[in-house]
Amino acid sequence: MLRVRRQPWWFLPAFCVLLGLGCLAAFWIGDDPTSGVISFAILALTGVGFAALGRFDLVRGLRGDGRDEYWQRIDVTATALAGLVAIFLIIGMCFWEWAHGRDGTPYSQLGAITGVSYVVFVAVLRWRS
């Protein structure tokens, strides 16, 4: 059984703000500070929302401070489903690129990295169990 690890309540809001600062810096370097400010504002407001709405079970589950076995199972299932969506989209975008006479980069690279990492993780988790 996996050990349930609780995050402090402030981790996800702080991560949102940090991610917003990263977007701001990247857009600023790319000479588009307006998009950077907009991205930072959206992510900072998301972080404030996660901090302010902590009385709700869903928000605590997303933040990690209300995490128990129930939320752990939901998190693993949601992560797997999101991964499947990403894999299907990567394959579809690769097919789209190939159908238009292009080489499929970067989608083929993302697909290859995803496939190899999946096999490695299955092997490591099997070896550990």
* Identity of the residue numbered 64: G
pTM, two decimal places: 0.74
Average pLDDT, the chain: 92
Question: DSSP states of 69-117 as a string?
Answer: HHHHHHHHHHHHHHHHHHHHHHHHHHHHHHHTTS--TTHHHHHHHHHHH
> Does the pLDDT at position 13 exceed 80?
yes
User: Which residue, chain included where needed, has tokens 């605590």?
Assistant: 60
pLDDT band at residue 85 using 50, 70 and 90 as cut-offs:
very high
Per-residue pLDDT, 4: 62
**Which amino acid would we find at residue 104?**
G
38-65 pLDDT, tens digit per residue, is: 999 999 999 999 999 988 988 988 888 8
Average pLDDT estimate for 25-40: 97
Contact 12, 47 (CB under 8 A): yes
49's tokens: 């929302």
Tell me which residue of 61, 55, 50 sits closest to 20, measured CA to CA. Answer: 50
Burial 16-48 (b: 16+ CB within 10 A, else e): bbebbeebbeebeeeeeeeebeebbeebbebbe
